[in-house]
Amino acid sequence: MIKTIAIDDEPLALQRLIRYIEKTPFLELTGSFDSALNAMEFVEKEKIDLIFLDIQMPDLSGTEFVRTLKNAPKIIFTTAYEKYAIEGFKLDAIDYLLKPYGYEEFLIAAQKARKYINLENATEQTVESTNEFLFVKSDYKTKRIIFNDILYIEGLKDYIKVYLWNDTKPLLSINSLKTIEQKLPPSKFMRVHRSFIVNLNRIEIIERSRIVFGKVYIPISDQYKEKFQDYLDRNLV
């Protein structure tokens, strides 16, 4: 079962979310809240897999709420305005529901979340790490990758690509970027975009909020810019 909560300041919209969640066999409703502020303590203390979250709310918007979470669960935003969808996807949202939505649209979004959650759970044991290297399953083989050989890692829909400094062909593995991020030492690697993790020791050029690896430009998104700037400030002369 996927542990789920619903957050929406509109009573009718919240009741609809509750009804849809309770109707869906693979979802378990563990809480419902009329504001992000009221949900904050619950989310920090409880193990939550998925949040259905309204974007426009007083005091603290849905997107602002997600930015406060250290290890955010999967998010499906709900909104009456399509223009907020892009902002939602920048925060690694699984999907968004445009109000007013029906159960079919809700179920499609929920099934997408279930797919990602199941993938993460299934692949969590496929990456084993030590202080200097990790093992990654790729092409029906298990390969040892030395941390220092990694340039950057790109997250795709259901896969990751590991780019090595000494190999032009990336290593392809059925994994999520979040799973491998948890296995990498934070002193050596940093997520700078919803789709990219970089090896800090391999960075040589930064240009216009982009990390340059030869002909490849890795964007530094707004969500990770402050953390990356802190790293630069600590090492700037």
Tell me: the pLDDT tens digits for 119-134? 776 655 455 555 688 8
Q: Say what the pLDDT of residue 89 is.
A: 62
Q: Say what the pLDDT of residue 179 is.
A: 85
Domain boundary among 101, 123, 145: 123
Domain boundary among 70, 94, 123: 123
The distance from CA 165 to its chain's CA centroid, rounded to whole angstroms, is 25
For residue 166, count other CB atoms closer than 10 A to its CB.
7
User: Are 87 and 168 found together in one domain?
Assistant: no
How far is Cα 169 from Cα 171, in angstroms, rounded to an integer? 7
C-alpha distances in Å from residue 142, one per residue of 94, 134, 135, 136, 137: 29, 10, 6, 5, 4
pLDDT tens digits along 141-191: 888 899 999 999 999 877 899 999 887 789 999 888 888 888 898 889 999
Retrieve residue 8's tokens.
Answer: 């929406």
Q: Spell out the long-range contacts of 207-214 with Cβ–Cβ below 8 A and sequence spacing 24 or more.
A: 211/152, 213/151, 213/152, 213/163
User: Are 25 and 88 found together in one domain?
Assistant: yes
Domain boundary among 123, 145, 168: 123
User: Are 172 and 106 found together in one domain?
Assistant: no
Q: Say what the pLDDT of residue 126 is.
A: 53
- Structure-token match 């999520």, residue found: 176
User: Are 77 and 24 found together in one domain?
Assistant: yes
**Residues of the chain below pLDDT 70:** 83-90, 121-131, 237
Write out the residue range of the structural domain in which residue 214 sits. 128-235
The DSSP code for 58 is S
**128-129 and 160-164 beta bridge pairing:** unpaired
User: Are 193 and 138 found together in one domain?
Assistant: yes
The distance from CA 59 to its chain's CA centroid, rounded to whole angstroms, is 24
User: Are 151 and 86 found together in one domain?
Assistant: no
Q: Say what the pLDDT of residue 35 is.
A: 94
Output the domain CATH number for residue 18: 3.40.50.2300
How far is Cα 156 from Cα 89, in angstroms, rounded to an integer? 14
Task: Report how many domains make up the chain.
Answer: 2
Q: Say what the pLDDT of residue 26 is.
A: 95
Q: Say what the pLDDT of residue 27 is.
A: 96
Q: Say what the pLDDT of residue 119 is.
A: 75
Q: Say what the pLDDT of residue 131 is.
A: 66
Buried b (16+ CB within 10 A) or exposed e, 75-92: bbbbbeeeebbebbeebb
Output the domain CATH number for residue 215: 2.40.50.1020
For residue 74, count other CB atoms closer than 10 A to its CB.
21
Retrieve residue 135's tokens.
Answer: 């093992």
